[in-house]
Structure 1
Amino acid sequence: MANQKLLLIDGNSVAFRAFYALYRQLENFRNPEGLHTNAIYTFKNMLDVVLNNVQPDHVLVAFDAGKTTFRNKMYADYKGGRQKTPGELSEQLPYVQELLHDLGISTYELENYEADDIIGTFAKIGEKNGFDVTVVTGDKDLTQLASEHTTVMVTKSGVMNLESYTPEHMKEVNGVTPTEFIDMKALMGDNSDNYPGVTKVGPKKASQLIQEYGSVENLYDHIDDMKASKLKENLLNDKDKALLGKKLATINCDTPVTIGIDDIKRRPVDYQKLRRFYEKMNFRKFLSELTPDGDSSKNETSQDSHVKMEYTELTKNNLAKITVNEGDEVIFYLGMLGPNYHLAEFVGFAFKISKQIFLSRDVTLLQDAKLKQILENKKISKDVFDLKRTTVGLNRLGIHAHGIEYDMLLASYLINNENNSDDMAEVCRMYGNDTVRSDLDVYGKGKSEKIPTDDDVLYNHLATKVEAIETLKETLLAKLKEHEQDDLFASIEIPVARVLAIMEINGIKVQADTLTELQDEFAVELKKMEKQIYDEAGEEFNINSPKQLGHILFEKMGLKPIKKTKTGYSTSVDVLNQLKDENPIIGQILSYRQIAKIQSTYVNGLLDVIQKDGRVHTRYLQTLTATGRLSSVDPNLQNIPTRTEEGKQIRKAFVPSEPDGYIFSCDYSQIELRVLAQVSGDEQMQEAFRTGYDIHAHTAMKIFHLKSTDDVTPLMRRRAKAVNFGIVYGISDYGLSKNLNISRKQAKEFIDNYFEQYPQIREYMDKAVKFAREKGYAETIMHRRRYLPDIHAKNYNVRSFAERTAINSPIQGSAADIIKIAMINMQKKLNDLHLKTKMVVQVHDELIFDVPKDEIETIKKIVPEVMQSAVTLDIPLVADSGYGHNWFDAK
């Protein structure tokens, strides 16, 4: 019988490697709350590879418990030379542990010891219990654990390229055994751990000495036999350092751990928690890999333990049973399969009126005059789960919903915006109601999604939903009132949901012909680029195949590989960016990929989603982000490229409804910095905005100690801009150094100078953190709250992220509130003036309008006025506008 397998992972070192594997893409890896996620994402990829290869029965990921260990008592400067861990990495470590727990993997840390010592201890425990042990680390120190039953896998570059160390491989690579490697380290020292070793003794000489003498102690026992030399002199002078180095380098394999081998047995994955984790991190790739068969969801449509509901099935013959008077309250639910309610198949509907539930599969019944009148009557108040989804769905049936005053999903979102699930079952469970089954349980997901054929199953599901909307309404409204969010709910979120529904229904016209022309142009350009790449490579190959590209670059052309994946050489954007100065082919491949992505994602992607009316109808996610910002999906119109010339061309396809009409664009100028000036009350920054200074040039003048903005160079302005926006997001010296390609020391000087020139911003930050500690939440100028349960966390990294969130949430959230107010006021203005102009797209701080030719002069005047007067601040809001016969020209 084969031995059981134990996998031990050095959590800190692997997370460190994971972070730097994608550090160049740091700003692209944030979740909707602003948490950096590059280390978490890469750690998960590495973990999948290792788990698949090792197939362990027991797994433990060890972490360092703190900065000081027993080694610091031996040598005060142990690890003293290391730079402070970037905050962008520190904030991710608690979430790496959360991910591991959801995956059924144990983690452990031990005060006064390093992760290495925990791993060493469990490696020996595993060996004694007959396990085959695999250690995964980014630190070669752990190779001393290699033995007949323990293999140590060390990341060579990135985290995917692992080199396996066995005693035989240790001898081949270092010339010494795993145990002798400790002595070798003692002589050569360790720059990373900051202990010196013997002067002028490097790896080669240290290996030779240990091969000859076997150990440090034996070397010194026979040192008198050595001929006089500078080496002997250095060995004698540094004897204490060598002996200390051995103690520091030796992993303690007998630590006082409080768990045993049985405690780290691999547990089943908690798919429900894992799904929520992936959603929170915005890991769509990992979410897509969770199939109904592979998670804890049950797709069978049989009844379970949930309560059996009483209801009346509606038909054309019994609609008279429903009676509603003006002033009555109606609970309504419209069921649709899948998230995209613009196209989703209808499931059925349910009403609850005067304690009776009426429902049907046949949604065409809603078009009957009796039911349609109920839904369209403004004086009959309706409660729903999701106002926007319901309004758009009814519009597809020719019903123009009015009178929806309560939205359960929006209420729940405002109360706790950290949990942004749109599954009613999960929302209900948050408030102690478990009567509603998850849609995933009842309908399934993806290709397996279907409406139950059993009427009892479907009708019970619909009935529990309308019942829950009514049952929990009082609880949710009371919570909103308690949190002083009832006005935010009624005056901003509900009205803006109505506006968004109108915008989604309107859609924006997209010319397929323009996209087809771009498709042809890009195809020609890609062919031309392919030829250039082939000429440079000396042969034709599949550029889109990482395996073939890796062969060309790293085997045929001899470029040095930076990291490997489980299938071969990595040819990721990050890797290619590091190699682009090595050979012209790298730049050509990067350009090729960029245009290919624009072609597939935006040109082909948009062609696929143009609907029969010649428009695309995006969905705005109102309950996704904790800051209140809106997101756009199916398609994502907020992500149309603007940085490259090829990307900008996509906007030419977005056109007005009428041939001679216009696309009008208006966006806030530097709204987040204006909000920062407002909430901080910083006089210097406010004065800059009042006098109309270029704020980035003004900041550059301040932090570079110049006399005038005339002395500011373009480079200075660019750096000041990075500081300005970085401060909003709580950037660290590490993050700024990477953004500007400067040293951390220089980045720290920039940040220090910034706070010296804008002292009230620093005061604001301190006050924001203090407020959050006292109240438990951060608050926007419109009283939108973001609760911060981790603001008092004992874990420094968790607490630090909460503090950073306390600082930037009022800024980002207030900017989101302002644009929402502007949208509400703008739609009202269009209605009041009976204009045909339609608001069609929102891109964070920008609003896009479809304007008939004869209304353009009116729109040019009223849109900036409405946007600039959305709220009254101590400094002016500025909105810049433009228009043209397509979106490209409007900018």
Structure 2
Amino acid sequence: MLGLKKLVLVDGNSIAYRAFFALPLLNNEKGVYTNAIYGFTTMVLKILEDEKPTHMLVAFDAGKTTFRHETYKEYKGKREKTPPELAEQLPVMRDLLKAFNIPLFEVENYEADDIIGTLSQKVANKDDYEVKIYTGDKDLLQLVTKNVLVSLTRKGITNVDTYDLSLVDEKYGITPMQIIDMKGLMGDSSDNIPGVPGVGEKTALKLLKQYESVEGVYHSIDEIAGKLKEKLQANHEQALMSKKLATIMLDAPVDLSLEDLILGDPHQETLTELFKELEFSSLLERIGSSDAVEQEEVEDLDVRVVSEVTEEMLESPAALVVEALDENYHQAEVIGLSIANKNGLYYLPTTVALESDLFKTWASDASKEKYIFNAKRAVVALGWQDVMLDGVIFDIQIASYLIDPSANSHEMADIAKRKKSLKVQSDEVIYGKGKKQHIPEQSNLSQHLGRKVAAIFDLKEELENELIDNSQQELFENLEMPLSVILGRMEMNGVSVDQEELKKMGESLVERLADMEKKIHHLAGTEFNINSPKQLGEVLFEKLNLPVIKKTKTGYSTSADVLEKLQDEHEMIPTILHYRQLGKLNSTYIEGLLKVIHKKTGKIHTIFNQAITQTGRLSSTEPNLQNIPIRLEEGRKIRHAFVPEKEKSFIFAADYSQIELRVLAHISQDENLKQAFINEMDVHKKTAMDVFGVEEDDVTDQMRRTAKAVNFGIVYGISDYGLSQNLGITRKEAKKFIDRYFQSYPGVKDYMESVVDEAREKGYVTTMLNRRRYLPELTSKNFNQRSFAERTAMNTPIQGSAADIIKKAMVDMAEALENENMTSKLLLQVHDELIFEVPEEELTQMKKLVPDVMEQAIKLDVPLLADVAYGETWYDAK
């Protein structure tokens, strides 16, 4: 073989583990877990695409015991057993490698590292070979030479740092072979290599830079003083043994020649079938499969491209597609429309549709029934073109979301694929993405929109029947469908923003940050980059000698939870925490909000996501107006910039009081909790009385705060550990609080236990309005996943029912405003709060109407309570 040859060696077990823990637990329709397989496959594809190897091998560990266990029985002894969800995926990975025609190998009594070390040694000094090793294990850095590079996985799966001789030197200041000595001295907890207790990486590197090796350290032991000398002397044999354990074999019995590692062509048919079975449709194009949606010859449909709108094409019921290319469709233009009905498929160029009075009349006619995908987006896209959309009775996206909220995607192409409908290509395939995004020629565009609209028309009946079977038709028709139109109109309306006020806030924050920076530098006694975790860590833990709470692979952890634990250790820490909060406020919210103010309207038009969260809650993006941090006064002040659009109007806020606890009282039917709300007691004070065993007058503010944390913790299925972390108390104390809570509210305990049992039997939980959430992890053998599913089973009926109630209130308010012929507008929904713009003349009426409607949204066995407030800005409406 002429020219430079490239050998790629992959640490199979390491990459498989990394993939499993990097991705959420996924499974295909048959219930086969696929997350590790998917991550592993994307890494293999990236290697093939980026490296273009001539030779390749994936090495696996052959078993649990190796020759190293003869030296030290406890080698790797602390490793947890392979999760069964991962174990069942490993054989499929091997099948995939065989389909790729990539050699794989294992040797009894040896590890994958030894196979890789032996093979890399074979070509380490051959100038016509380049070797690249892929792993997540730093031990393999000892194999780096001028011709052997090691790519270490970083965050996720496919992000890697590639080490050559210079990078090893830059990171550690030692040679690759000295990695073995470093491990000998400091040990390796992941492999249970003991090393010298009390010697960490920093000390080990310092010793090696001076004495070169473990043997060199002991040869010069008399030059070392103090406790370090004592530690080294007491663990001489252990250090040598640890070095031996960390040494990768370079002459393992690997009966393979370089010819055996030549990379052949993949077995395309087998690979394609495996990808299809695993439902890796997004990867089919990358293997050049003719079955990829992106590559396949999709059926050409009889789509009539029209130059004039006629009654025939508008006959109802009809499916409608309104295509706006940009994700932020407030900024986008409609690029085309399509209609499907019993008469056929029609493609309407934008100008044909939007200049037709016949189309506009039909679009706004509520009696003309329309099926659609993402009605909200269509309402907004047409709204920006001054076309009103009404009469939408079925939304494919919302139906899919209600039927299975845990599905990975509710995009049109994915829904069609899941339902075995007409094949629809993904938008990314047709339009590209990023800088490559483009509008295709009309023949391709008309076919794409034709397939979409045909699939909508085809799927409507099937999805409708599934909703009926799930008892979700009322939820769909009376709540989610009308809500989609309401949300669309809220997005169109937007929220007025005082740009100058925002800019002033930003300038003020920048000045404060500069002052705080000077203060921090003064307290630290040195100047450094406060935003650099590395520099901050060095100042805190080396210069100031603060206790090290946690270390990461890259050094000292300076995360918020670490700094919070150090607040009493140095007066600089609270200032750093505040500095970070203000910095995020400025960059994320002040600067971020200024960037998304619409050029034409001067408003912010957030996008409400109706089909994302599994609890049914709405989320907000571009920008997220639900997450403005109001616990911090500086964050709360950002709401000063949100103002009424019209003069003599107010921002009017209404929020439910303790809605989740009221829902819990209703669902659990706990008499004590119900009576607390019925008698209008302070429920947190009532819980404090029960938990602490005191009379009402003896409840302190701290007791009430603790009781509040317990109340809301119970709603979220909190553990004694979680509560102890929230309150800064011991687990034993936290357990006592929880036990006393359940003694006071036995109905809540019965509910928590029964809902988990029922969910385990059915496979899902439901809200009061029959919203479902599937929880396959309830039967997982993995304790953490099973525990999470149990907490989710407890919480979802409560949180999901609260979400349903606020949505119902939005629908009822829209109807009430229309019936009363009022001009007040609903602007935002923020969790349990509704924000309106109200003209002065309607203020008195709204103060009565809003709480009346919200409190009657749904009938509970305890009263719903809505508090209202108003002011000249959102900040003042409190």
Give yes or no for TM over 0.5: yes
After TM superposition, list the pairs within 5 Å mapping 1:429-828 onto structure 2: 429-433=417-421, 435-452=423-440, 454-536=441-523, 542-545=529-532, 571-611=558-598, 612-704=600-692, 706-828=693-815
* Displacement after TM superposition at 1:534 (Å): 4.1
* CA deviation profile, 1:698-730 (whole Å, cap 9, x unmatched): 2222222x1323222222222222221122122
Does the Cα contact within 8 Å between 1:619 and 1:633 map onto a contact in 2?
yes
CA shift in 2, pair 1:213/1:604, >3 Å:
closer
Mapped to 2, the partners of 1:670 and 1:127 lie a distance apart of 61
Which residue is equivalent to 2:335?
347
Does the Cα contact within 8 Å between 2:324 and 2:333 map onto a contact in 1?
yes
Does the Cα contact within 8 Å between 1:661 and 1:853 map onto a contact in 2?
yes
Establish whether residue 832 from structure 1 lines up as the match of residue 819 from structure 2. yes
Does the Cα contact within 8 Å between 1:330 and 1:381 map onto a contact in 2?
yes
Mapped to 1, the partners of 2:420 and 2:817 lie a distance apart of 43
Mapped to 1, the partners of 2:687 and 2:14 lie a distance apart of 43
Name which of 305, 309, 320 aligns with 1:319.
Answer: 309
CA shift in 2, pair 1:95/1:492, >3 Å:
farther
* Displacement after TM superposition at 1:776 (Å): 2.3
CA shift in 2, pair 1:664/1:313, >3 Å:
same
After TM superposition, list the pairs within 5 Å mapping 1:237-386 onto structure 2: 304-315=296-307, 318-320=308-310, 322=312, 324=314, 328-363=316-351, 365-386=353-374
Does the Cα contact within 8 Å between 2:329 and 2:380 map onto a contact in 1?
yes
Does the Cα contact within 8 Å between 2:684 and 2:708 map onto a contact in 1?
yes
Show structure 1 runs of 5+ residues with no match.
20-28, 32-39, 108-116, 189-201, 217-245, 254-259, 278-289
CA shift in 2, pair 1:186/1:375, >3 Å:
closer
Tell me, what secondary structure is at the counterpart of 1:889? coil
CA shift in 2, pair 1:96/1:659, >3 Å:
farther
Does the Cα contact within 8 Å between 1:423 and 1:439 map onto a contact in 2?
no
After TM superposition, list the pairs within 5 Å mapping 1:366-445 onto structure 2: 366-419=354-407, 421-433=409-421, 435-445=423-433
User: What amino acid sits opposite 1:306 in the alignment?
Assistant: V
Mapped to 1, the partners of 2:562 and 2:662 lie a distance apart of 38
Cα-Cα RMSD: 5.4
Does the Cα contact within 8 Å between 2:304 and 2:346 map onto a contact in 1?
yes
* Displacement after TM superposition at 1:775 (Å): 2.3
User: What amino acid sits opposite 2:11 in the alignment?
Assistant: L
* CA deviation profile, 1:214-272 (whole Å, cap 9, x unmatched): 999xxxxxxxxxxxxxxxxxxxxxxxxxxxxx9xx999x9xxxxxx9999x9x99x99x
CA shift in 2, pair 1:652/1:212, >3 Å:
closer
Moved more, 167-176 or 773-782: 167-176
Mapped to 2, the partners of 1:296 and 1:698 lie a distance apart of 65
Identity across the alignment (%): 40
Does the Cα contact within 8 Å between 2:482 and 2:811 map onto a contact in 1?
yes
CA shift in 2, pair 1:450/1:324, >3 Å:
closer
* Displacement after TM superposition at 1:778 (Å): 0.6
CA shift in 2, pair 1:465/1:368, >3 Å:
same
Tell me, what secondary structure is at the counterpart of 2:346? strand
* CA deviation profile, 1:134-176 (whole Å, cap 9, x unmatched): 98679xxx99x99999999999xxx999989988566577669
Tell me, what secondary structure is at the counterpart of 2:714? helix
CA shift in 2, pair 1:11/1:713, >3 Å:
farther
CA shift in 2, pair 1:451/1:212, >3 Å:
closer
Mapped to 2, the partners of 1:456 and 1:61 lie a distance apart of 50
* CA deviation profile, 1:493-543 (whole Å, cap 9, x unmatched): 101112212222222211112112212222222232233234445565554
CA shift in 2, pair 1:96/1:639, >3 Å:
farther
Which residue is equivalent to 1:878?
865
Normalising by structure 2, we get a TM-score of: 0.74
CA shift in 2, pair 1:205/1:58, >3 Å:
farther
Tell me, what secondary structure is at the counterpart of 2:867? strand
Mapped to 2, the partners of 1:568 and 1:350 lie a distance apart of 56
Mapped to 2, the partners of 1:425 and 1:621 lie a distance apart of 19
* Displacement after TM superposition at 1:450 (Å): 1.6
* Displacement after TM superposition at 1:350 (Å): 0.8
* Displacement after TM superposition at 1:130 (Å): 5.7
Show structure 2 runs of 5+ residues with no match.
27-35, 98-106, 122-130, 155-159, 162-167, 199-226, 250-255
Does the Cα contact within 8 Å between 2:303 and 2:346 map onto a contact in 1?
yes
Q: What is the total number of aligned residue pairs between the two structures?
A: 760
CA shift in 2, pair 1:311/1:691, >3 Å:
same
Mapped to 2, the partners of 1:479 and 1:670 lie a distance apart of 34
Mapped to 2, the partners of 1:213 and 1:30 lie a distance apart of 40
Mapped to 2, the partners of 1:527 and 1:184 lie a distance apart of 47
CA shift in 2, pair 1:449/1:97, >3 Å:
farther
Which residue is equivalent to 1:224?
none
Tell me, what secondary structure is at the counterpart of 1:888? coil
User: What amino acid sits opposite 2:299 in the alignment?
Assistant: V
Mapped to 2, the partners of 1:652 and 1:176 lie a distance apart of 55
Mapped to 1, the partners of 2:335 and 2:814 lie a distance apart of 32
